[in-house]
Amino acid sequence: MKGKFISIEGIDGCGKSTHVKLLARWLRSHGRKVVITDEPTNGATGRIIKRVLIGKLKLPIAAEALLFAADRAQHISEVIKPALKTGKVVLNERYVSSSLAYQSARGLSINWISSINKHALMPDLGILIDVPVDIAFARIKSSRRLDEFERNLRLQERVRRNYLRIARRERLKIVDNTRSCDEVQAEIRKLVSAVL
């Protein structure tokens, strides 16, 4: 495939969206065609997941993990692969590592989550934007209403620990986001330049 597939991971409020936007602007200014996308998607399965996230629908955790995997399968075939075929850089907010970090924090085994995500295309680069939970929480609380996962600080602590634990095996590059926005963005650009 001609394009590049980059996934950006991290706990809620870690600064993913801000850095993805800055990265996209920079890539476009260098003549690259960029697609910004995210999971859960707004597709048929993604919409069910969003009802779970706002507490409108209760499902067993295994069913929740399978929905995330199904949503991802649709995302890969309808959005990610077509964009890569035409040479675009795909910046995906959240991917398999989100399922590994969140659904294991909610009680499932990492190996099981990994097995239901075997279909997923491997990114060319995975970035973990790491920030302590209290900093992330203060950021989102001041900007909008929180969903079920975001409100649960103990869950967020477990998610952060899981991310750091799986980083090596999932080949995630850890970027410390307790520094200035410029410093963090510069490091991200360096990582991305290395795979372009």
Binder among 9, 12, 130, 170 for ligand TYD (CB under 6 A): 12
Q: Name residues whose C-beta falls within 8 Å of residue 8's C-beta, 6 or more positions apart in sequence.
A: 16, 19, 20, 91, 92, 93, 94, 126, 127, 129
The CB-nearest residue to ligand TYD is 102
Task: Select the span of 98-106, 121-129, 163-171, 184-192 touching ligand TYD (CB under 6 A).
Answer: 98-106
Pairing of strands 172-176, 4-9: unpaired
99 in contact with ligand TYD (CB under 6 A): yes
Q: What is the rounded distance in angstroms from the CA atom of residue 60 to the CA atom of residue 120? A: 23
Binder among 7, 45, 98, 185 for ligand TYD (CB under 6 A): 98
> Closest CB to ligand TYD among 147 and 187?
147
Tokens of 126: 């995975």
Tokens of 179: 């520094």
Q: How far is the CB of 80 from ligand TYD (least distance, A)?
A: 13
Radius of gyration of the chain (CA): 16
Residues 30-89 that bind ligand TYD (CB under 6 A): 38-40, 53, 68
> Closest CB to ligand TYD among 70 and 84?
70
Contact 107, 83 (CB under 8 A): no
Binding site for ligand TYD (CB under 6 A): 12, 38-40, 53, 68, 94, 98-99, 102-103, 147, 149-150
